[in-house]
Amino acid sequence: MKSLRVFAPATVANLSCGFDVLGCCLENVGDEMQISLSAEAGVRITKIEGADLPMATDKNVAGVAVIAMLAALNDTKTGVDIEIYKKIKAGSGIGSSAASSAGAVWAVNELLSRPFTNAQLVKFAMEGERLASGNAHADNVAPALLGGFTLVRSYAPLDVLKLHTPKDLFMTIIHPQIEVKTADSRRVVKPTVALKKAVTQWGNLGGFIAGLYTNDYDLIGRSLEDVIIEPMRSILIPEFENVKSTALENGALGAGISGSGPSIFALSKGKTTAEKVAKAIEKVYQPTGIIFDIHVAGINANGVTMVS
């Protein structure tokens, strides 16, 4: 039977100025999955290591994503067995569910000789997000599938774009192991915003994207500001302001909440700066007694890839 092992990357959504539309894909941080075609029709989760997640296909994000994909092909004959080797912690805010959904549909698409483009796979992976959070958002699955920085230009119709990625950007991510459920984190977000703040936000989003295309690191940094969501959500994250200001003092271009948190990202020019930022924010978190992980990662230009 044909089988594939893939790396399913972690992702950072929102990126301060792009709530629900921006995301980027990380190198080295992510899960592995073994996806195999089977003679027995249907989709099965056959193994999960590293996390306590549902084995029932219709309760598992990878399962529902592949079901949606096969349904779009009117395919009732293909059998798929999914093994998940989880490294990204659930609820971390760096796209744990997106990695599983994206990794699964990407691998099955490969095994079926690519009936879909990577951009077309986004809508199937979004079904995993719908199961995970009640909201079929695309800002993690798009970068997981396309790589680099991505923009969800529109949800109806779905239109996702891969943006230009400057070479020298590195992420520092701190994941405090407290539980902030995506659904809870969405609840603190108000349904209306002041037009004035919305204008500030789209100025920054525009500046960020112009900065990506012109490799203007200062502009990218100036644009990493969130006047809408961060003030509401950051209160759920211990030491957020302290981590952010420490990252900036140590040379980061900008910092903010990764997705719906509790992870905090800092974006830096150069790996040396990103590592310096990691050491500095580690010192901020140590006295809290909260268990945390820290990652330093480049931007993954490819998204999900085969593991050789």
Residues taking part in catalysis: 129, 182
From the CB of 34, what's the least distance to a second copy, in Å? 35
- Asked whether the beta carbons of 98 and 30 are under 8 A apart, the reply is no
In eight-state DSSP terms, residue 269 is E
How far apart CA 254 and CA 225 sit, in angstroms, is 8
* Nearest 10 degrees: Cα torsion 209, 256, 61, 146: 20
Closest CA to 175 of 95, 60, 86, 84: 95
* 70 is a site residue for a second copy (CB under 8 A): no
Q: CA angle 2-3-8, nearest 5°? A: 150
Question: Which token pair is 301?
Answer: 């230009």
Question: Closer to a second copy at the Cβ: 214 or 288?
Answer: 214
AA letter at 82: I
From 40-48, 114-122, 214-222, 266-274, span contacting a second copy (CB under 8 A)? 214-222
From 1-9, 62-70, 77-85, 145-153, span contacting a second copy (CB under 8 A)? 145-153
* Interactions with a second copy, residue window 155-184 (CB under 8 A): 155, 159, 161, 163-164
- Asked whether the beta carbons of 193 and 278 are under 8 A apart, the reply is no
From 140-148, 206-214, 247-255, 290-298, span contacting a second copy (CB under 8 A)? 206-214
* 198 is a site residue for a second copy (CB under 8 A): yes
* 231 is a site residue for a second copy (CB under 8 A): no
Letter string b/e over residues 242-260, b meaning 16 or more CB atoms within 10 A of that residue's CB: ebbebbbebbbbbbbbbbb
One residue of 18, 103, 176, 261 binding a second copy per CB under 8 A: 18
From the CB of 132, what's the least distance to a second copy, in Å? 19
Binding residue count for a second copy, defined by CB under 8 A: 40
Site string for a second copy, 100-139 (x = CB under 8 A): ----------------------------------------
Angle between helices 96-111 and 61-72 (to 10 degrees): 40
From the CB of 89, what's the least distance to a second copy, in Å? 27
* 56 is a site residue for a second copy (CB under 8 A): no
In this structure, the strands spanning 42-49 and 79-85 are parallel
Residues that bind a second copy (CB under 8 A): 18-22, 151-155, 159, 161, 163-164, 189-196, 198-207, 209-210, 213-214, 219, 222-223, 228
